Amino acid sequence: MSRGLSERESQAIKEFCRLVREKLGSDLKEVRLFGSKARGTSGPESDIDVLLITAGKDRSLEEIVIEAAVEVNLEHDVFIAPLVIPESRYYSPLYRETLLFKTTQEEGVSL
């Protein structure tokens, strides 16, 4: 998956992805690991940054993702930090100019 993840973190990410795909279904468009874990530059206190691109902007989608992250974080003793962004916003011309967009596109690892 990524050289910056421990075995425990890899298992946690797999479980997290399974849960959000199961719960969001077709509303989940893309999942990407980004940040220090994707780059392989993480330290002992680093979180696991995960971008989730969704079909629409619905507060309930974000709540489902957060609940899944909390469940997996507690079960695996990790810290998955999800970032939920609607597809229409993420791929908009203005958003494509942001550092976050560029970083997740260049360094992000598709999950």
With b meaning 16 or more CB within 10 Å and e meaning fewer, what string describes 81-108? ebbbbbbeebeeeeeeeeeebebbeebb
- Residue 97 forms part of a structural domain: yes
- Give residue 11's identity as a one-letter amino acid code: Q
What is the number of domains present in the chain? 1
In angstroms, rounded to a whole number, what is the distance separating the alpha carbons of residues 105 and 75?
A: 30
Residue 57 is predicted with a pLDDT of 78
- The model's pTM: 0.92
In angstroms, rounded to a whole number, what is the distance separating the alpha carbons of residues 67 and 36?
A: 23
Residue range of the domain that includes 53: 7-110
What average pLDDT score do residues 23-40 get?
95
- pLDDT tens for 54-103 read 998 778 899 999 999 999 999 999 999 999 999 999 999 999 999 999 99
* CA nearest to 68, candidates 100, 31, 103: 31
Name beta bridge partners: 31: 52
- Residue 2 forms part of a structural domain: no
